[in-house]
Structure 1
Amino acid sequence: MFYLRLARGYRVPDLGRWLLTALAAAVVAAFLLRSLGRALSEPIGGADALVRLLWCLPPLAAVAWFAAVAARSVPARRPERLAGLTAAGAGSRRIRTLIAGEVALACTLGSVLTLLLFLVLRNDIAGPSLAPDLGMGVPLPAAAPVTLLALVPLTAGIAAACSVPVAETLPGGRTRGRTGFGPLRIAVPIGLVVIGAALELIALRPGAPADGRPIHLPAGLGTTSTAALGGWAAGALGLALLTGPLLAWTGRLLAVGRPTPLRLLAGRGLTAQAPRLGPPLAVLTLVLALVLTTVRYWIGTPNRADALPAVEACLVLGCAAAAVLARLAEVRTDRREVTEALLRLGTSPRLLFGAVALRTLAVGTTLLLTGGATAALAAAGLR
């Protein structure tokens, strides 16, 4: 009943976030039920069932990531809701539990709708092409779909609960993080990038394909070597971790010397927002680079494309983009007081719009460099 009353006060962004969470959970539930149907249709003891279940982990992790970022943005974007809950006697831990429960409820709704569709299609409605995916003709254990579908709201709810610090769930209790990066936060990513580049060079040396045992990649991506795969993994992780510091350095570069008001506002704003914008933008850039590399490989080698990885890639990419939008909305809400103060001081709205445009251009340039390097490392390891 509490969540029904809470939904009555939803605005369009809140309703969109809730519906996107339910839709993503429904797609992940479809992947899990498909793996269950395939396992029922095949002989007992096959190893393919475990492989198909492992394919469900990337979209499940993407939904949990989106739920965590969206839940973290609720206290900043809806302080009046939290003020009312606090006045009613709810503490910080109680509020965090309520936010996680809202996310879990949305995931439960999406999973239940998918389960109902799965059961309806199993009732001799689906055609022969879908029969193996649904496990038609084989009795369905009641505990199997319930156990699998419980993973979606449970994972998303735990991720949402862990993403919101207790100090940030109370009105006026938001803590300002540091805008800089320590030496360790910079040395580790640079070391990973160097190690990844060195492994890639080892894998690309003459005669390297004859060394070792090739690794067969999923989704029809051919084979690669251990050095190439390890080099891409280390390099991609290093570039992802380096996205935040690069954004901060780009902001300082914009404000270097004797900057104009436009450069000063854009540079200082980007430097302050880099620690919070870095993680979601890094995830989005990594996923997009991997998707583009896969599509390029499929185009170069016809009849190698696979529909299931393509659908999963679209879901992961959508969750990453939605997480970036949620973080941008959170940052915009936090900067509202600063923007209003600048307007009261007589700052031109055109100047503020120009600063936002300059920041966007700087961020896009930085992500183009990191994403291009990630895609280059991935393309070099495929053969």
Structure 2
Amino acid sequence: MLALRLIRGSHPLVLLSRLLVACAMAGVGFLLLASLSHALAHPGQPAASVARLLWCLVPLAAAVQLAVAVARTDPGPQARSALDTVRSGPGGVPALAAVSTAVSCLLGSAVALLVFLHLRGELTGMPFDGAASGLLAADRPLPVAAALTLLCVAPVLASCTAFALSARTARPARLRAHGGDRDRDRATMEARTVRAASSGGADTAAPATDDTTGPAPLPGSLPWGAALTAAGLALETYASRSQHLPVPRTLEGIAPGVLGGWLLIAVGLVLAGPGLTHLCGTLLTTCRPGAVRLLAGRVLREEAARVGRPLGTLCAVVAGTLVAARLYAAAPGGGLSAVGPMTALGIALVLACALLSVLTSAAEWRSARVRTNAALVRVGAPRKLLRRAAALRAAVLLVALGSLTWALSVLASLPVLP
């Protein structure tokens, strides 16, 4: 009941994020039910049905990541302080995050079932009755147990993941809430950085390197991400040249070696995301930077662990979409006409979930720096400087990660194109 009351009294933006999670889960549930319909319509093609079901794991993972990203910001700071006041215990916040995530996901699964039944023609009285009856195997009876099992996979997985991650981060967040000296120390050091750079001192980077609250070091996952990306490119190249693993020109029937190479590249990009964000911040602070570059670079290095992983996921999704677009364009009679409705829905769902995860992490990043920015303004930093630093961070990340994503998509598509 407490979780439902918190959901009802949440901020409109929080309700909007939960509604987006419900929409994502509705799309995933519809794709799972569509794969079940394909199995019903083609009982003699179990391999094709299993392949369609496995491809649903990609939008499922993207939707779960979005749900977890939203759960990290729920409940808000006021609700967290109220829970600490009533001594809800260390499991209070994780339980509330898991329940709110489960409610949003179950709502999306229910909507997916209703839309699926409506398009099959089993629910009448509304527009588009039975519009996809042939595609969704309306002539075959729907196994209720199998449908409900598929619809419950995403909510259970998302709520369990949200509970585990919230339980892991609840204690550090509580310690930061009760020991508020970190924000003040951070604002003091950043104010010193701005003053030193504005005064044109000889050693402008000194204030950012000689305190214990400085930015975190380079994440250790960057070498692993680079190694996995290189291994994925090598595996894909080897598989494409093998006579025993022919590479098709469409997404159907992809050779296992090529698929494994793409998977390694995607995992490598996700792991390298925090390190690449940290390197962007380091690049900004080189060659005698000014106040804007110093502040932007310091913030990027400090928050690399928070936003780097969603950015790496978005880069992997965009690179995969570019590779798929090149494959469909090179296929005989290909182009947009070769993309089926379920494939288009899956691609759009993965892209939307990855982008929304980045935006959610950015909103969490911004809310975490509210006190620090307010302290910077109190010590004399102009708001225009903060806005310019934010714009510079976004531009550097867009140029650096966008260039890397485009280059990897080209390298990943070269071995499989004629």
User: TM tier, shorter chain?
Assistant: 0.7 to 0.9
Confirm or deny: 8 A CA contact 1:214 1:225 kept in the other structure. Answer: no
With over 3 angstroms needed to count, the CA separation of the structure-2 counterparts of 1:174 and 1:263, relative to structure 1, is: farther
* 2:113 equivalent among 107, 112, 115: 115
| Structure 2: gaps of 5 or more residues | 183-212
Supply the distance in 2 between the matched residues of 1:318 and 1:127 (Cα, whole angstroms): 27
- In the alignment, the residues of structure 2 paired with residue 47 and residue 259 of structure 1 have an alpha-carbon distance, to the nearest angstrom, of 58
- Counterpart of 2:156 in structure 1 is 154
Structure 1 gaps of 5+ residues are none
For residues 29 and 229 of structure 1, the distance between their equivalents in structure 2, rounded to whole angstroms, comes to: 24
Distance 2:292 2:57 in 1: 44
Distance across 1 between alignment mates of 2:235 and 2:45: 37
Aligned pairs for 1:326-345 (under 5 A) are 326-345=360-379
SS at the partner of 1:381?
A: coil
Instruction: Choose which of 279, 282, 304 in structure 1 pairs with 2:309.
Output: 279
Give the whole-Å Cα distance in 1 for the aligned partners of 2:283 and 2:254.
Answer: 42
Contact 1:200 1:381 in 2 (8 A): yes
Instruction: Choose which of 250, 260, 267 in structure 1 pairs with 2:297.
Output: 267
Cα shift readout 1:311-361 (whole Å, capped 9, x = no counterpart): 101101111111101100111111111101110011111111111111111
Give the match for residue 212 of structure 1.
244
Amino acid of the residue matched to residue 338 of structure 1?
T
Q: Give the stretch that moved more between structures: 324-333 or 66-75.
A: 66-75
Range moving further from structure 2, 50-59 or 234-243: 234-243
Give the residue type in structure 2 aligned to 1:65: Q
**CA offset digits 1:88-139 (Å, max 9, x no partner):** 3422212201111101111111111222333344428577762244332333
Question: Does the CA contact (< 8 Å) of 1:95 and 1:169 recur in 2?
Answer: no
- Contact 2:297/2:393 (<8 A) preserved: yes
User: 1:185 corresponds to which residue?
Assistant: 221
TM-score by length of 1: 0.87
- TM-score (norm. length: structure 2): 0.80
Percent identical among aligned pairs is 34
1: CA distance, partners of 2:53 / 2:236: 30
Q: Would you say 1:318 and 2:322 are equivalent positions? A: no
Describe the SS at the equivalent of 2:46. Answer: coil
The 3-state SS of whatever aligns with 1:242 is helix
Which deviates more from structure 2 when the two are superposed, residues 246-255 or residues 84-93? 84-93
Judge conservation of contact 1:29–1:149 (CA < 8 Å) in 2. Answer: yes
Aligned length: 374
Question: Relative to structure 2, which stretch is displaced further, 233-242 or 271-280?
Answer: 233-242
Paired with 1:133 and 1:84, the residues of 2 have a C-alpha distance of 51
Partner of 1:66 in structure 2? 66
Over 3 Å counting, the alpha-carbon distance change for 1:285 and 1:354 in structure 2 is same
One-letter amino acid of the counterpart of residue 217, structure 2:
G
Q: Rate the CA distance shift 1:315–1:193 in 2: closer, same or farther, 3 A.
A: closer
Shift of 1:82: 1.5
Secondary structure in structure 1 of the residue aligned to 2:20: helix
Cα RMSD over matched residues?
2.8
1:1-383 aligned at under 5 Å gives the runs 1-43=1-43, 46-74=46-74, 78-120=76-118, 121-123=120-122, 130-164=132-166, 165=168, 166-168=170-172, 170=174, 172-173=176-177, 179-181=216-218, 184-199=220-235, 208=241, 211-216=243-248, 219-220=251-252, 226=257, 230-301=260-331, 302-303=333-334, 304-383=338-417
Partners of 1:201 and 1:38 lie apart in 2 by: 33
Cα distance, 1:23 vs structure 2? 0.7
Q: Give per-residue Cα distances to partners, 1:200-246, cap 9 Å, x unaligned.
A: 66578xxx46x3331447635x86683x5555444443344223222
- 1:90 partner letter: S
Decide whether aligned partners of structure 1 residues 263 and 139 sit closer, same or farther in structure 2, where only a CA change above 3 A counts: closer
Give the match's secondary structure for 1:74. Answer: coil
Distance 1:44 1:14 in 2: 46
Q: Distance in 1 between matches of 2:315 and 2:381?
A: 34
Residue type of the alignment partner of 1:118: F
Select the structure with the greater relative contact order (CA < 8 A; seq sep ≥ 6).
Answer: 1
